């Protein structure tokens, strides 16, 4: 039997198996998918097909868009200081720590150390959002503030990568211009589509297809401009969030999009991410791997914990651990550095392994031992929903 017929079967099996394991042991399905990707790639020689790589890219963009949709803009404005302080410190302290260690201790080149600092400064919006959705915390003030702070961290990472390495050309400017135009007109006129009664409750799902079209437009022009679509996707979701919070019809669209994404698309983002880890190369530089993982976690703790204790009391450890994760921008930064020749294959594998480990270890610890027990926001929301149902 050829690879064309076996790869989709194996991939579908991994996706289903991850869901079953997640339900059984109570750990985020994203983490299980990452681990299965590592196992499949290193122990069974399973390689991602081009269609899987594309789906993985689409998965990161869809997750980022959904995360932007969940951000409460009024809360972001009212908690702007807290978001900027937590998110900014979450970026800056790990960036300095990882750069200093790789440059002064490990003897990496200047550009390689800057790549390491950028890759290990990230907080994974995809992981944070996935965990908050699964736990129901995405609707709470804690969850919304965490996503706002994570957005600030990733903005810092994206700007760092752009200012330090990416040399803008006409295609990069074209990508920025197209993204701005798409976001402007989509925010201005999408309400007409969502409010059209002819499109409501149709099995062909025109609203979801419309959103996918816009996200794929971002991906296409990002590829042309040698950039990435996650930043405009998040900004698009951020500006669209009032639609999805004010209108009941668009809330249903968001829920259906989330269902499609988590059932079919986003699992490939996490599984393919796990496959990028080369365990033999990591084991050959195991001391460096451990050192960089420790540097990232300690610097993240220093950058986040004390501010979280002030602004997110009772949940400071949970918040610190979730914001210590890394995946999307960490992977993007590492891939960019490898393709540009700033880091070699061993450095690349170590950085990817640290990024993957930082997505798994803090999340497992946070969910197992530091899950918030103060769920007043969720309980109040449930009471309001029940009261509304009774009144209806």
- The total number of structural domains that make up the chain: 1
Which tokens hold the place of 4? 């064309």
Does 43 fall in a domain?
no
Task: Quote the longest CA-to-CA distance of the chain.
Answer: 68
Tell whether 197 is covered by a domain: yes
In this predicted structure, what is the pLDDT of residue 214? 93
Q: Where are the alpha helices (DSSP H) in the chain?
A: 3-25, 29-43, 50-70, 73-78, 80-100, 110-119, 125-135, 141-164, 170-194, 206-224, 230-246, 248-260, 266-275, 279-284, 286-311, 316-322, 328-339, 345-369, 376-391
The tens place of each residue's pLDDT in the chain, 392 residues long, gives 454 568 888 889 999 999 999 888 877 787 788 889 889 989 988 888 888 888 988 888 888 788 778 777 777 778 889 999 999 999 999 999 999 999 999 999 999 999 999 999 989 877 888 888 887 887 788 888 898 898 889 888 878 877 787 777 788 888 889 999 999 999 888 877 777 666 666 666 788 888 999 999 999 998 888 777 878 888 898 888 877 766 556 677 778 888 888 888 888 888 888 888 888 989 999 999 999 999 999 999 999 999 999 998 888 999 999 999 988 788 878 878 887 789 998 998 899 999 989 988 998 899 888 888 655 554 455 445 545 545 55
Task: For residue 340, give the CATH number of its domain.
Answer: 1.20.1530.20
* Residue 310 contacts residue 242 (beta carbons within 8 Å): no
What is the distance in angstroms between the CA of the first residue and the CA of the last residue of the chain? 57
Task: Look at the block and give the residue holding tokens 């944070």.
Answer: 128
Identify the pLDDT of residue 76: 74
Backbone angles phi, psi at 201, to 5 degrees: 55, 35
3 state SS of 228 = coil
* Domain limits for position 200: 49-391
**Three-class SS state of 314:** coil
Asked whether residue 324 is domain-assigned, the answer is yes
Cβ burial of 313 (10 Å; 0-12, 13-18, 19+) is: exposed
Residue 357 covered by a domain: yes
Q: Which of 74, 123, 91, 70 is nearest to 319 (CA)?
A: 123
């Amino acid at each position: 039997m050829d690879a064309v017929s076996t790869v989709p079967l194996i991939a579908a099996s991994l996706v289903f198996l991850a869901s079953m394991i997640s339900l059984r042991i109570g750990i985020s399905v994203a983490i299980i998918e990452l681990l299965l990707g590592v196992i499949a790639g290193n122990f069974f020689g399973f390689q991602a097909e081009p269609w899987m790589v594309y789906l993985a890219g689409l998965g990161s963009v869809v997750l980022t868009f959904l995360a932007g949709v969940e951000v409460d803009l009024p809360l972001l404005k009212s908690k702007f200081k807290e978001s900027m302080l937590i998110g900014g410190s979450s970026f800056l302290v790990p960036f300095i720590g990882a750069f200093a260690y790789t440059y002064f201790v490990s003897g990496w080149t200047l550009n390689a150390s800057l790549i390491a600092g950028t890759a290990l400064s990230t907080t994974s919006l995809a992981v944070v959002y996935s965990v908050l959705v699964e736990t129901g915390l995405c609707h709470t003030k804690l969850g919304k503030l965490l996503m706002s702070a994570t957005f600030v961290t990733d903005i810092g990472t994206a700007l760092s990568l752009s200012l330090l390495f990416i040399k803008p050309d006409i295609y990069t400017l074209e990508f920025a211009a197209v993204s701005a135009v798409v976001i402007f007109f989509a925010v201005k006129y999408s309400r007409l589509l969502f409010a059209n009664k002819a499109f409501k409750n149709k099995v062909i799902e025109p609203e979801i297809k419309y959103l996918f079209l816009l996200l794929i437009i971002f991906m296409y022009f990002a590829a042309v401009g040698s950039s990435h679509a996650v930043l405009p996707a998040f900004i698009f979701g951020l500006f669209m969030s009032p639609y999805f919070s004010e209108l009941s019809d668009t809330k249903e669209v968001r829920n259906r999009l989330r269902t499609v994404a988590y059932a079919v698309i986003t699992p490939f983002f996490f599984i393919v991410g796990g496959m990028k880890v080369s365990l033999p190369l990591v084991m050959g530089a195991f001391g460096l791997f451990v050192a960089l993982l420790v540097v990232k976690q300690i610097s993240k703790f220093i950058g986040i914990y004390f501010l979280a204790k002030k602004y997110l009391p009772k949940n400071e450890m949970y918040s610190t651990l979730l914001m210590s994760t890394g995946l999307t921008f960490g992977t993007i930064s590492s891939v960019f550095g490898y393709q540009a020749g700033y880091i070699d294959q061993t450095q690349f594998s170590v950085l990817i392994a640290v990024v993957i480990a930082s997505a798994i270890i803090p999340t497992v610890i946070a969910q197992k031992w530091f899950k918030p027990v103060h769920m007043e926001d969720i309980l109040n929301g449930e009471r309001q929903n029940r009261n509304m149902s009774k009144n209806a």
